[in-house]
Amino acid sequence: MADSAASPTHPIDPRFVADLAEVRIKGTGRDRFLARLGAAFMPLGVALGVVGWFIARSTDNALNQRDAIILAIIGMTLSMWGAALFLRYSFAEFLRFWMARLLLQQASMTAPDTQAGAETLRKDPMQ
């Protein structure tokens, strides 16, 4: 089992690895921080919403209920902002890598050995 994990079924082109190292495609620290912040805001917002709901249900005082409802609304808003941050910065990192791979494939298609580049693209990457 360890041998199959060590050797992937579709090897990565060494030129692609070299080009990635040359271009230095990686997310900035800010992008990674905001994606993690968004991932932390999602459960925190849900927790605030649930706490606000329990507080509102446990009291008969209308003023306390309104305060708890506001807390629950803030929690749900925080959760939605967290989901938006997480999705935006996660997709940005993925699309950055995808664009580099697409450019490499296009470059291999226009290379002098176009036949070899076309055969590489015809292969099923899942095999």
| Whether the predicted pLDDT of 19 surpasses 60 | yes
pLDDT digits (tens, 9 = 90+) for 78-116: 999 999 999 998 887 778 777 777 877 777 776 555 455
Q: Is the dihedral of CA 51, 53, 58, 64 positive or negative?
A: positive
Token pair listed for 94? 């993925």
Residue 121 counted as domain residue: no
In terms of phi and psi (left: phi > 0; alpha: psi -120 to 50; beta: otherwise), the region of 24 is left
Alpha helix (H) ranges present in 1-127?
Answer: 2-6, 14-23, 29-58, 62-109, 114-122
Token pair listed for 100? 């580099």
Residue 5 counted as domain residue: no
Residue 10 counted as domain residue: no
Identify the DSSP state of 7: S
Residue 118 counted as domain residue: no
Residue 34 counted as domain residue: yes
Range of the domain at 55: 27-112
Query: pTM for this one?
Result: 0.59
Q: Number of folded domains in the chain?
A: 1
Residue 50 counted as domain residue: yes
Residue 14 counted as domain residue: no
Residue 87 counted as domain residue: yes
What's the rounded Cα separation, in Å, for the pair 18 and 119? Answer: 21
Q: Does residue 105 or residue 53 have the better pLDDT?
A: 53
Q: Does residue 61 or residue 26 have the better pLDDT?
A: 61
